[in-house]
Amino acid sequence: MEISKKIRKTSTLIGSHVVNHANTTIAEVRDLVLSPEGVVKFAVLGYGGVAGVGETYTAAPFDALDVRLVEAKWAVNLEMAAEDLKKAPTIKSDDYRELTDQQWIARAEQFFPARSEPANKPKALDGSAGRDHQAVEHVILASKVRGAKPKNTQNEELGKVEDLLLDRSYRVAFVILGRGGLLGIGENYIPVPWSKLSLSKSKENNAIMVTIDATKGHLEKAPVVKGDDYATLLGRGFADEVRRYFGVTERGEGTSGAERR
């Protein structure tokens, strides 16, 4: 998973304006819904309201959006008028449980057509291009992973997830783990491959709990990035060095061939 000479932070993508071809802002990106493999499946969009208050929410399949990073700023386009967006299936629950309902997903997929489909992709029985969005078992929000305080299997606290970095296929390549320091001063930022994480959900408050397959001692010797722009990852061979240190291949698989939990 290459960063491709750009640092794609989910923290800056969340909050971006969504504009149409007339350059009219029709929504804001309020969150990203991830698969267990780290693929961005949906963007939670908020529209209406003032400064986020009184907004209506929907979730657009990510392939319906044109998302680009231009000169360190996100550009998000959706070819739709603001009035039309108001007809989208809405999310009314606080925990986004609509995304666990296959019928709701089917309505969203029908409402938000894919921006483009490969020419050789098989057609569905109704003649339309097949899309394979499925209801999720657990809603994994990027904003909930960011800010989580991971532990390892020994129940040791390992720091805090500061950000999630996407590759050019919009799959999480690395999480940035902050360790040490006081109020961010003297803190070490450690890029950890997504495949080293295991995620679960608290039954008490629906919080995302993150487990990292590493000991505290192993993390203390891990490669670190300097500053909160994480540009060290763009250095020649550095991302591969991180992967080798954590024992994963570029595709995020363990070098032993073990599957991610």
State pLDDT tens for residues 200-245: 887 776 778 999 999 999 999 999 998 888 999 999 999 999 999 9
Domain ranges in the chain are 8-111, 144-246
Q: How many CA atoms lie within 13 A of 150 on its CB side?
A: 30
Token reading at 77: 């386009």
- Check pLDDT > 50 for residue 156: yes
Asked if the model's pLDDT at residue 197 lies above 50, the reply is: yes
The confidence score (pLDDT) of residue 115 equals: 83
CATH class of 144-246: mainly beta
Note the pLDDT of residue 72. 82
Q: What is the largest CA-CA distance in the chain?
A: 58
Give the predicted TM-score (pTM) of the model.
0.86
Query: Tokens 């010797």 label which residue?
Result: 221
Predicted pLDDT of residue 105? 95
258 or 180: which leads in pLDDT: 180
Tell me what percent of the residues of the chain surpass a pLDDT of 90.
Answer: 67
- The per-residue pLDDT for 201 is 80
The Cα-based distances of 153 to 7, 87, 97, 199 in angstroms read: 30, 46, 29, 12
Chain length of the chain = 261
Residue 81 has pLDDT above 60, yes or no: yes
What class is the 8-111 domain?
mainly beta
Q: How far is CA 88 from CA 32, 79, 94, 109, 260, in A?
A: 17, 13, 18, 10, 35
Give the residues across from 43 on adjacent strands.
32, 60
Could you tell me what percent of the chain has a pLDDT over 70? 82
Phi, psi of 169 (to 5 degrees): -95, 10
Question: pLDDT (tens digit, 9 = 90+) per residue, 15-73?
Answer: 999 999 999 999 999 999 999 999 999 999 999 976 667 899 999 999 999 999 988 89
Q: For residue 146, which phi and psi values (nearest 5 degrees)? A: -70, 125
- Do the domains 8-111 and 144-246 sit in the same CATH topology, yes or no? yes
The CA angle 167-113-131, to the nearest 5 degrees, is 70
Beta bridge partners of residue 241, listed in sequence order = none
Per DSSP, the three-state class of 161 is strand
Alpha-carbon span 123 to 127, nearest angstrom: 6
* CA-wise closest residue to 80 among 90, 66, 94, 69: 66
Tokens at 133, concatenated: 């969005």
What is the pLDDT, as a whole number, of residue 137? 80
Which residues, in sequence order, are CB contacts of 146 under 8 Å at separation 6+? 10, 11, 161, 162, 163, 164
Q: What is the pLDDT of residue 6?
A: 87
173-184 pLDDT, tens digit per residue, is 999 999 876 555
DSSP 170: S
| 154-171 mean pLDDT | 94
Mean predicted confidence (pLDDT) in 151-157: 92
* d(C-alpha 125, C-alpha 143), whole Å: 37
